Chains A and B, each alone.
Chain A
Amino acid sequence: MGEFIMENRIILAIESSCDETAAAIIRNGSKIVSNVVASQIESHKRFGGVVPEIASRHHVEQITVVIEEALTQANMTPQDLDAVAVTEGPGLVGALLIGINAAKAFAFANNLPILGVHHIAGHIYANALVQPMEFPLLALVVSGGHTELVYMKEHGSFEVIGETRDDAAGEAYDKVARVLGLPYPGGPRIDKLAHESDEAVAFPRVWLEEDSYDFSFSGLKSAVINYKHNMDQRGEEISPKAVAKGFQDSVVEVLTAKTVRAAREFKVKQVIAAGGVAANKGLRSSLEATFEAEGIPFYVPPLKLCTDNAAMIGAVATPMFEAGVRSDLTMNGRPGMELKSWV
Chain B
Amino acid sequence: MIWLGIETANAPLSVAIVKDGKVVAEVVQNIKLTHSAGAMPAVEAILAKAGLKPVDIDAIAVSEGPGSYTGVRIGATLAKTLAWTLKKPLVGVSSLKVLAANVSLHNGLICPLFDARRSNVYTAVYKGATLETVVEDYHDHIDGLLQRLQELAEPVLFVGADVDVFWEKIVATLGDYAYRAPMTTDLPRACEVIRLASEGELPSTEATHHFVPQYKRIAEAEANWLKEQKEKANEQ
Verify if A32 is at the interface (C-beta below 8 Å from B): no
Closest chain-A Cβ to B81's Cβ sits at a distance in Å of 4
Verify if B40 is at the interface (C-beta below 8 Å from A): yes
Q: Which residue of chain A is the closest to B79 with respect to CB atoms?
A: A105
List of B residues within 8 angstroms of A46 by Cβ: 225
B212 touches A60 (CB 8 A): yes
Complex Cα gap A88–B78 (Å): 16
Complex Cα gap A57–B69 (Å): 9
Known contacts A53-B221, A108-B44, A102 near B81 by CB under 8 Å? yes
Complex Cα gap A253–B213 (Å): 48
Residue in contact with B37 in the complex, picked from A47, A94, A331, CB distance below 8 Å:
A331
A101 touches B84 (CB 8 A): no
Chain B positions 14 through 57: 1 when the CB is less than 8 Å from some CB of chain A, otherwise 0:
00000000000000000000101111110110000000001100
B43 touches A108 (CB 8 A): yes
Residue in contact with A56 in the complex, picked from B38, B73, B78, B85, CB distance below 8 Å:
B73
Closest chain-B Cβ to A69's Cβ sits at a distance in Å of 10
Closest chain-B Cβ to A86's Cβ sits at a distance in Å of 12
Q: Number of contacting residues on B, CB 8 A?
A: 35
Query: Which chain A residues in 264-304 approach chain B with CB under 8 Å?
Result: none
Chain A positions 313 through 343: 1 when the CB is less than 8 Å from some CB of chain B, otherwise 0:
0000000000000000111110000000000
List of A residues within 8 angstroms of B74 by Cβ: 97, 101
B40 touches A47 (CB 8 A): no
Residue in contact with A109 in the complex, picked from B36, B85, B208, B220, CB distance below 8 Å:
B85
List of B residues within 8 angstroms of A56 by Cβ: 69-70, 73
Complex Cα gap A54–B225 (Å): 12
Complex Cα gap A47–B222 (Å): 8
A105 touches B77 (CB 8 A): yes
Complex Cα gap A120–B74 (Å): 24
List of A residues within 8 angstroms of B54 by Cβ: 108-111
List of A residues within 8 angstroms of B82 by Cβ: 105, 108-109
A329 touches B41 (CB 8 A): yes
Verify if B169 is at the interface (C-beta below 8 Å from A): no
Complex Cα gap A56–B212 (Å): 11
Q: Which residue of chain B is the closest to A43 with respect to CB atoms?
A: B222
Closest chain-A Cβ to B218's Cβ sits at a distance in Å of 9
Chain A positions 63 through 107: 1 when the CB is less than 8 Å from some CB of chain B, otherwise 0:
111011000000000100000000000000010011011101110
Closest chain-B Cβ to A329's Cβ sits at a distance in Å of 4
B85 touches A105 (CB 8 A): yes
B70 touches A94 (CB 8 A): yes
Q: Which residue of chain B is the closest to A57 with respect to CB atoms?
A: B219
B85 touches A332 (CB 8 A): no
B37 touches A332 (CB 8 A): yes
Complex Cα gap A57–B77 (Å): 11
List of B residues within 8 angstroms of A47 by Cβ: 221, 225
Closest chain-B Cβ to A190's Cβ sits at a distance in Å of 24
Residue in contact with B40 in the complex, picked from A68, A104, A110, CB distance below 8 Å:
A104
Closest chain-A Cβ to B52's Cβ sits at a distance in Å of 12
Verify if A238 is at the interface (C-beta below 8 Å from B): no
Give 6 nearest A-B pairs by CB, closest first.
A105-B81, A53-B219, A51-B221, A101-B77, A64-B84, A104-B40
| 6 further contact pairs, Cβ within 8 A, besides A106-B81, A329-B41 | A53-B221, A101-B36, A101-B40, A109-B81, A332-B34, A332-B37
**17 interchain pairs (CB within 8 A)?**
A51-B219, A51-B221, A53-B220, A54-B219, A56-B70, A57-B219, A64-B81, A67-B81, A97-B70, A97-B74, A98-B77, A104-B78, A105-B40, A105-B78, A108-B82, A329-B40, A332-B34
